[in-house]
Amino acid sequence: MAQRRRDNKGRILKDGESQRKDGSYDYRWRDRKGKRHSIYGRTLEELREKEDDILQDQRDGIRSEARQITVNEMFDVWLKLKRGLKDNTLQNYIYMYDMFVRDELGTIKLCILRHSDIRRFYNTLYEVRGIKISTIDVIHNVLHQVLELAVQDNYLRNNISDNALKELKLMHNQDNGKKKALTKPEQDLFISYLKKSVQY
């Protein structure tokens, strides 16, 4: 029986694991298409947490390259596939993405992007940059479609932008004054006024 490799602390390393000269660790594997991939960890525990994530991705059918692809790269795929929009609408989407998302969220890898990142991004647009909610809504519409494609292509388990704008929109509506329905007596009074008014 072949002797198993060990790290400098005497711990047995699993297949694909190795310790580097600086004491950190790496794990190498091949995806279903035979393409080689590798990840690194400062400690063996950190590396094995990442390995567990990879194994879970494989069980769930999540593509290995999701660990490398960025939001910008996913947007470019979405843009090539998008059909059925008027040219003005599509150009507006491209402008909004390039203006607000590309240099911010766009550079983040899909595998580490979180719902909280998107909410923080929208809050910053509104509170720091003074962007109107209607504009942020357009940005969200584009980003949501891009991330939905990532779900459909098995880069993500679910669309992490779902409901990311809900709280901010709700707060904005409250700031604009809560709408109140007329009571039955108020409606009767209003209709009576309209009937008696020469103007109406």
Question: pLDDT (tens digit, 9 = 90+) per residue, 130-181?
Answer: 999 999 999 999 999 999 999 998 888 899 999 999 988 888 775 554 556 7
* pLDDT at site 64: 61
Q: Are residues 38 and 98 in the same domain?
A: no
Tell me the C-alpha distance between 90 and 79, whole Å.
Answer: 9
Nearest one of 109, 112, 113, 117 to 70, comparing CA atoms: 109
Which of 30, 61, 92 terminates a domain? The answer is 61
- More reliable by pLDDT, 120 or 68: 120
pLDDT tens digits, 42-97: 999 998 888 887 777 777 666 666 667 899 999 999 999 998 888 899 999 999 99
pLDDT tens digits, 5-52: 889 999 999 888 999 999 999 998 887 777 787 888 899 999 888 888
Q: Are residues 88 and 130 in the same domain?
A: yes
Q: Give the 3-state secondary structure of residue 198.
A: coil
**Partner residues linked to 92 by β-bridges:** none
Cβ–Cβ under 8 Å, residues 53 and 39: no
CATH number for position 94: 1.10.150.130
pTM of structure: 0.63
Q: Is residue 85 part of a domain?
A: yes
- Our count of domains for the chain comes to 2
pLDDT category of residue 190 using cuts at 50, 70 and 90: confident
Q: Are residues 77 and 140 in the same domain?
A: yes
Q: Are residues 107 and 128 in the same domain?
A: yes
